[in-house]
Amino acid sequence: TEATLEDLVLQAPEGEIMLRDAVDMTAGRAYTTIGRINGRRVISVTANVRPPSRAENIRKALAADILPDLVRRYPGLSCSFEGHQAEIRDSIGALITGLGMALICIYALLAIPFKSYVQPVIIMFSIPFGIIGAVMGHLLMGYSLSVMSLFGVVALSGVVVNDSLILINFANRKRLGGASAVEAIRAAGVQRFRPILLTTLTTFGGLSPMILETSRQARFLIPMAISLGFGIMFATFITLVMVPALYLALEDLIKLSGRSKTGTGADTTPPQIPA
């Protein structure tokens, strides 16, 4: 109490004195603790956001308006998102690195059996559209992009190439049988359409219960399921159009290259699988 504090005995050079005789005591407010990091005073502000899906929107609003205004009003003040946000930044960096390594591995695994440097690029062309589908799925379902969404995107990059792989592989087999590029890719589109569509629909159907789940236990997995489901669905329909077009464009480039080398306008070379 204040009375007990006033009776505190201090040891002075002239002897013992009471604290009330040495100082004037007044009641006031002060910090219970003062935190420092690298010698600078730090104040931590935390909050629990309800619903949790709005946390990213609130963070963006703080970073865009509120925190810059505080920094302008109080020179010397600096702000940063730490704790859970710092962990998210580290996770995103690791995921981006992992995605890059996954793309390199996918390219290598496709280039070796196809014995081509360009066809794997055509097959992997569906990956960006899968990512677009994942983002559109989050907008449609009302979810913000999160770390789990990025996990789904990384997994999506390895799954979404299957449809393109089926088309290109079927077309190559037709080319080996003597078919032209147009005939081969047309046959691939017609005969592989049903398996590709059924595979996509069954995959999306299997993920639908998780996407539509409302329990608290499943909420952290829903963004990953949205990335996979909507990414595969969107990329499939783009693949059925873009991959045949790119396949024929590559064939035209090969023919033009052959004509420029021979200096003739007629193409007398036998059908070849695009390299």
- Give DSSP secondary structure letters for 142-176: T----HHHHHHHHHHHHHTHHHHHHHHHHHHHHHH
Q: Residues 55, 60, 62, 65: is their CA dihedral positive or negative? A: negative
**Chain segment 202-234, per-residue pLDDT in tens:** 999 999 988 888 887 778 889 999 999 999 999
Expressed in angstroms, the distance from the first to the final Cα of the chain is 87
22-75 pLDDT, tens per residue?
777 777 777 777 788 777 888 888 887 777 657 777 878 888 888 888 888 888
Does CATH place domain 84-262 in 1.20.1640.10? Answer: yes
Please report the pLDDT score of residue 87 as a whole number: 74
Exposure string over 168-203, b if 16+ CB within 10 A, otherwise e: bbbbbebbeeebebeebbbbbbeebeeebeebbeeb
Mean pLDDT of 228-252: 90
Backbone angles phi and psi of 12, in degrees to 5? -110, 165
Mean of the per-residue pLDDT values of the chain: 83
Paired residues of 171 in beta bridges: none
CA distance 191 to 194: 7
DSSP letter, residue 66: I
pLDDT above 90 (res 136): yes
Report whether pLDDT(99) > 70: yes
259: pLDDT strictly greater than 80: no
- Identity at 83, one-letter amino acid code: G
**Cβ(129)–Cβ(246) below 8 Å:** no
What are the residue boundaries of the structural domains of the chain, listed by start? 84-262
Question: What letter would DSSP give residue 54?
Answer: G
Q: Using CA of residue 17, residue 23, residue 26, residue 32, what is the dihedral sign? A: negative
**CA proximity to 236, closest of 132, 109, 145:** 132
